[in-house]
Amino acid sequence: ASNIRVAGVAIGADTLEVATFAGGCFWCMEEAFDAVLGVEATISGYTGGSIEDPGYEQVSSGRTGHLEAVNVFFDPEVVSFAEVLQTFWRNVDPTDDGGQFCDRGSQYVSAIFVRNERQRALAEASKRALEAERRIVTPILPATTFWPAEEYHQDYYTKNPVRYRFYKFNCGRKARLEEVWGEAGG
């Protein structure tokens, strides 16, 4: 069995499915997915860009084409990809093509990165269902190389809870999610 290491813990990769999502600040996306029963781990990182092994300063400049993203490792026996998609949608503003909340720029837009045709079909179906209610700009893209972010970004919301809550509140994330989704938002 092949294993991956997340925060020093070996996880059986052959029993978990991986989903990759961009939804603005990866700290906030980690928090949202970590709360889902069946999600075993999340990793903040960068994907979709043009350079190898980018760092935060490069990505945050908006010039590399990378998006802040999270890899979500989940047990499909406990939570389905369709359910993981619902968590994603309820934690982004899929109508905003300029970034997410207070984080502006191409590196903060929302996107779903699919790893196979099953994920693509489920992602497209979930997007079509939402498009019945509103215009959705979130693209569904093929997964590309995922570069883990620096260690200080991993689990930021638990390592720096006061700073994180201050950032999240001042960014207006919760208020905007309630506008978009009602009480079901993030």
The amino acid at 76:
P
Query: Where do the H-state alpha helices sit in the chain?
Result: 26-34, 56-60, 81-89, 117-131, 156-159, 161-171, 173-181
Give the number of other CB atoms < 10 A from CB of residue 13. 14
Residue found under tokens 């200080």:
152
**Bridge pairing between strands 140-142 and 110-114:** parallel
**28 annotated active-site:** no
Which letter does DSSP use for residue 140 in this model? E
Amino acid letter, residue 53: D
Which among 108, 100, 30, 118 is positioned nearest to 71, based on CA atoms?
30
Annotated catalytic residues are 25
